[in-house]
């Protein structure tokens, strides 16, 4: 197990470095000028050149690359061009919001997906099943930002149950935090919950035909225990795989939701940083997302063994 872990940790390095190097090169090779974005549209050529020199952007690309590499290995990601603060201090402010949003959205997606999938499987081919499957197809098809605007219209503007937008941290109270994160998390999680519903339904239908389920029933175990302890546990493994992929999708894809709900998250920060050509901040953001994703995938792989004792890592 330890050997497996060490191997996986080693594999994380190229997983992180390849996208980082690509981002470094793409950012600098793409047109666009951080100095112009900083000084605005009325800056003169001299002023732009002076700022570029001040930011070190006038140095040859190989020199910039070596300095950047040195920074990575010494855990110094440099200063954000626009915030004028160390990237290592800016990123956590934004990453916390996105990680919390992803966790809540993932929890909602799993709960909705598993429950609806099981209900659908237990009511195979009857109207309940068809209703769930149709809803799942709709959920997969709806763009998240559109769903977000619908949620705002229904729950915020019409019913006035939740605020339209804004971020309240958990430190301000759990009720206020819950009110501010529920709609964004639901909007972010709904598509994944639809995927999980379909996956859970299909997986449950397969498992329910397995001999050990028949054996359990023949032994007189209550149906609730057969479903809960035997069928659901095995059927959840494919859902876990989807959950891992969903977490990655949510971490990187929360941008639209963060913009609609005005959440100060990593996705929105990255989009703004790319638009401003804030190179160090973009690189720091990509590093963070790559790292979280790699670790998350490892954790999910390890969880397989917890759910299915037949799985062993060597």
Partner 1 sequence: MRHSMTRLGTKAALLAGAAMIAGAAAAQEQGGTLTVGISQMPPQPDPVVTTFGINWMTAAVVCEGLFAVDNSWTPQPMLAESFEYSDDGTLLTITLRDGLTFQSGEPLTSADVVASLERFRAAAGIGASFAAVTESISAPDDMTVEIQLTGPTPIVPGLLAGTQAVIMSASSIGDASATEALSGLDCTGPYTLTDYRADQGVTLTRWEDYQPREEESSGEAGMKHAWADEIMLRLMPEPSVRRDSLVTGEIDVAMELPTDFYEQLESAPGVQPVIVANNQSLTAVFNTQEGVMADVNLRRAIYHALEMEPIMLASVGNPEFYEIDGSWIPDPNSFWYTTAGIDEFGQPDPAKVEEYLAASDYNGEPIRWLVASEQYQKHFLTAVTVAQQLGDYGINVEIQENPMANYIQMRADPTQMDAFSSFLPTYIDPTSIAYLNPTYPGFWTDPEKMELMAQLAETIDPDERKAIFEEVHALAYDQFPFIKYGTEANMYGVREGVEGYTTTAVGGYTFYNYAPPAE
Transcribe 210-273 into DSSP letters. Answer: SHHHHHHHHTT--HHHIIIIIIHHHHHHHHHHHHHHHHHHHHHH-HHHHHHTT---HHHHHHHH
Under 8 Å between Cβ of 283 and 85:
no
Size of the site for partner 1 (CB under 8 A): 47
Tell which positions 61-90 bind partner 1, by CB under 8 A.
80, 82-84
The residues, ordered by sequence, that sit 6+ positions from 302 with a Cβ below 8 Å of its Cβ are 313
Under 8 Å between Cβ of 246 and 192:
yes
- Provide the minimum distance between the beta carbon of 259 and partner 1 in the complex, in angstroms, as a whole number: 5
Q: Does the footprint of partner 1 cover residue 147 (CB under 8 A)?
A: no
- Provide the minimum distance between the beta carbon of 51 and partner 1 in the complex, in angstroms, as a whole number: 5
Residue 202 to residue 246: CA distance in whole angstroms: 18
Q: Does the footprint of partner 1 cover residue 241 (CB under 8 A)?
A: no
Q: Does the footprint of partner 1 cover residue 43 (CB under 8 A)?
A: yes
Residue 278 to residue 282: CA distance in whole angstroms: 6
Tell which positions 160-189 bind partner 1, by CB under 8 A.
160, 163-167
Q: Does the footprint of partner 1 cover residue 45 (CB under 8 A)?
A: yes
Tell which positions 265-304 bind partner 1, by CB under 8 A.
268-269, 272, 275-277
- Provide the minimum distance between the beta carbon of 251 and partner 1 in the complex, in angstroms, as a whole number: 18
Q: What are the residues binding partner 1 (CB under 8 A)?
A: 30-34, 36-45, 47-48, 50-51, 54, 80, 82-84, 94, 149, 152-153, 156-157, 160, 163-167, 259-262, 264, 268-269, 272, 275-277
């Amino acid at each position: 197990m330890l050997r497996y872990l060490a191997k996986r940790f080693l594999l994380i390095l190229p997983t992180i470095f390849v996208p980082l190097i690509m981002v470094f090169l793409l950012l600098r090779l793409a047109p666009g000028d951080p100095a112009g974005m900083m000084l605005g549209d009325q800056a003169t050529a001299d002023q732009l050149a002076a700022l570029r020199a001040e930011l070190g952007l006038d140095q040859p690309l190989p020199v910039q690359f070596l300095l950047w590499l040195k920074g990575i290995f010494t855990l110094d990601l440099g200063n954000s061009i626009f915030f004028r603060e160390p990237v290592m201090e800016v990123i956590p402010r934004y990453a916390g919001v996105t990680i919390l949003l992803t966790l809540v959205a993932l929890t909602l997606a799993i709960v909705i997906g598993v429950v609806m999938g099981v209900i659908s499987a237990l009511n195979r081919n009857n109207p309940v099943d068809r209703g769930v499957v149709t809803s799942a197809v709709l959920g997969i098809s709806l763009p998240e930002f559109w769903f977000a605007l619908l949620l705002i219209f229904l729950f915020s503007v019409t019913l006035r149950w939740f605020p339209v937008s804004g971020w309240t941290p958990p430190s301000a109270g759990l009720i206020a935090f819950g009110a501010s994160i529920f709609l964004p998390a639901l909007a972010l999680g709904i598509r994944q919950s639809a995927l999980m519903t379909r996956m859970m339904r299909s997986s449950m239908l397969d498992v329910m035909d397995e001999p050990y389920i028949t054996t359990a029933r023949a032994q007189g175990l209550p149906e609730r225990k057969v479903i809960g302890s035997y069928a659901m546990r095995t059927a959840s493994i494919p859902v876990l795989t989807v959950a891992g992929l969903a977490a990655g999708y949510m971490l990187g894809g929360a941008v639209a939701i963060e913009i609609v709900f005005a959440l100060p998250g990593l996705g929105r920060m990255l989009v703004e940083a790319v638009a401003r050509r804030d190179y160090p901040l973009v690189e720091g953001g990509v590093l963070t997302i790559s790292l979280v994703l790699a670790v998350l995938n490892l954790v999910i792989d390890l969880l397989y063994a917890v759910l299915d004792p037949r799985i062993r890592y060597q």
